[in-house]
């Protein structure tokens, strides 16, 4: 062993091939995750276009925590029947893990109540498309 260490022609070559292979695999996995997020986002948007079209315009991006909370709680305008802005605000604050201000929750609640009154969904509250959209969320 000592004689090998003294030999000037002996060179230890690091195994860089494995590192590059790992980076390539990680890069491909990242690209696939980004594509999957885009596909699921488009499917959620399609479901909302049928059940609650105004929700697509209300939130950008649709994949934000607040948007997904609203979609999960109110996938159809009929889910808001009988709700007041205060009840709606408290429900959103309770069901959002991310800390949002009461002012923002109240603003979004008021806006959602306003657009739900004007909304004309293409499907009923009990349609299977809503179940599918909720599954994606």
pLDDT digits (tens, 9 = 90+) for 21-38: 889 999 999 999 999 999
CATH fold, domain 14-136, is Helix Hairpins (1.10.287)
Q: Provide long-range contacts, Cβ within 8 A and 24+ apart, for 68-74.
A: 68/137, 69/95, 69/96, 70/108, 70/112, 71/44, 71/133, 71/134, 71/137, 72/134, 72/137, 74/112, 74/116
In which band, very low, low, confident or very high, does the pLDDT at 10 lie, cut at 50, 70 and 90? low
Residue 119 has pLDDT above 60, yes or no: yes
What number is the average pLDDT over the span 83-106?
83
């Amino acid at each position: 062993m000592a004689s090998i260490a003294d030999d000037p022609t002996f060179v230890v070559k690091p195994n860089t091939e494995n590192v590059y292979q790992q980076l390539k695999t990680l890069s491909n996995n990242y690209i696939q995750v980004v594509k999957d997020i885009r596909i699921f986002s488009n499917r959620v948007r399609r479901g909302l276009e049928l059940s609650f079209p105004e929700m697509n315009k209300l939130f950008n991006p649709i994949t934000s925590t607040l948007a997904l909370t609203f979609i999960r709680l109110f996938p159809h305008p009929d889910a808001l029947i009988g709700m007041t802005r205060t009840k709606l605000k408290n429900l959103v604050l309770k069901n959002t893990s991310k800390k949002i201000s009461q002012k923002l929750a109240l603003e979004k609640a008021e806006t959602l109540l306003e657009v739900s009154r004007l909304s004309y969904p293409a499907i009923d509250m009990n349609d299977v498309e809503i179940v599918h959209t909720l599954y994606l969320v």
